[in-house]
Amino acid sequence: MNINTSNRSPSPLPSLVEVSPVSSPRDEARDPQIEKVRNLLEKVKIEAESNNDHNNNNNEKN
């Protein structure tokens, strides 16, 4: 039985790289701020479509 008794120090650990957390789509779906923004975007989209229809109707009359 041969036991290695050398006093070599272990290799240094690699430095840890700081990683920002990655949000999953499920996390985003639960985030109230993201939900608020999605709702606002939907309102703006609907309003823009409504204004576009109104403008098209005015152009057809002229």
Q: What is the mean pLDDT of the chain?
A: 73
Q: Alpha helices of 1-62 — where are they, by DSSP H?
A: 25-30, 32-61
| pLDDT higher than threshold 70 for residue 30 | yes
The pTM for the full model equals: 0.42
Assess if residue 35 is contained within a domain: yes
Domain interval for residue 38? 30-55
Which tokens belong to 59? 């152009």
- In the chain, how many domains are there? 1
| pLDDT higher than threshold 80 for residue 62 | no
Assess if residue 36 is contained within a domain: yes
Assess if residue 9 is contained within a domain: no
Helix, strand, coil percent content, the chain, rounded in steps of 5:
60, 0, 40
Q: What is the rounded average pLDDT of the residues 16-29?
A: 65
